[in-house]
Amino acid sequence: MTAVLFLAFTLRVPLLNGPRFHPDEALYASFARAIAVWRDPLLRTAPVDKPPLLFYTQALCYPFLGPREMAARIPNVFGSLLTVALTYAVARRVLLGARQGNSSPQNSEQDVAGSDLCVSPLVAAVVAACSPLAVAFGATAFTDPLMVAWGMAAVLAAAGRRAGPAGLWLGLALATKYQAIIFAPLVVGLLWLQSEHPRPREWARLAAGLLLPLAGVAAWDLARSARESLLSAQVTSYGGVRLAQLAELWPRLVSWLGLARYLAGSTWTSVLLLATVPLGVYLLAGTRLSAACYLLGGSLAVFFLFHWLLSISVWDRYLLPAVPVTAVLVGWSAGAVMSRLFPAGSGPRRQLALAAPAVAAVLLALLLPSAVRASNGALPVGGDHGVYDGIEQVAGFFADHPYGTVLYDHWLNWQLRYYLFDTRVYVSWFPHAAALAEDLQAFGASSPRYLLVPTWESRLPITEAVRAAGFDFETVHEAHRTDGSLSFIVYRITPATASGSPRAK
pLDDT tens-digit map of 22-49: 999 999 999 999 999 999 999 998 889 8
Check whether 111 has a pLDDT greater than 60.
Answer: no
- pLDDT score of 104: 42
**Which residues does 326 contact at the CB level (< 8 Å), separation at least 6?**
127, 263, 273, 274, 277, 300
Element (H, E) at 494: strand 486-495
Check whether 451 has a pLDDT greater than 80.
Answer: yes
Report which residue type is found at 123.
Answer: V
Q: Which has more confidence, 279 or 141? A: 141
From CA 437, how far away is CA 20, in angstroms rounded? Answer: 31
pLDDT in tens, 154-199: 999 999 999 999 999 999 999 999 999 999 999 999 999 887 667 8
Q: Which has more confidence, 278 or 486? A: 486
- pLDDT score of 98: 66
- pLDDT score of 336: 82
pLDDT in tens, 326-366: 999 999 988 888 777 766 555 555 555 566 677 778 888 89
Report which residue type is found at 338.
Answer: M
**Paired sense of beta strands 449-454 and 426-429, if any:** unpaired
Over range 367-379, report the average pLDDT. 94
- pLDDT score of 326: 94
* 242 confidence band (pLDDT: 50, 70, 90): confident
Q: What average pLDDT does the chain have?
A: 88
Q: Which of helix, strand or coil describes residue 283?
A: helix
pLDDT in tens, 247-300: 999 999 999 999 999 999 888 888 888 888 888 778 887 777 888 999 999 999
Check whether 55 has a pLDDT greater than 90.
Answer: yes
**Residue 286 Rama label (left phi>0; alpha psi -120 to 50; beta):** left
Domains and CATH numbers, the chain: 2-104+115-229+247-348 (no CATH), 391-495 (3.40.190)
- pLDDT score of 9: 97
- pLDDT score of 105: 39
| DSSP secondary structure code for residue 481 in this structure | -
The dihedral of CA 406, 22, 181, 173: what is its sign? negative
Check whether 106 has a pLDDT greater than 60.
Answer: no
Q: Where are the beta strands (DSSP E) in 285-356?
A: none
- pLDDT score of 346: 52
From CA 79, how far away is CA 144, in angstroms rounded? Answer: 10
Nearest partner of 310 among 245, 247, 375, judged by Cα: 245
- Phi/psi at 483 (nearest 5 deg)? -85, 5
**Which residues does 301 contact at the CB level (< 8 Å), separation at least 6?**
none
Neighbours of 378 (CB within 10 A): 12
Over range 82-110, report the average pLDDT. 73
Over range 462-466, report the average pLDDT. 90
From CA 231, how far away is CA 225, in angstroms rounded? Answer: 14
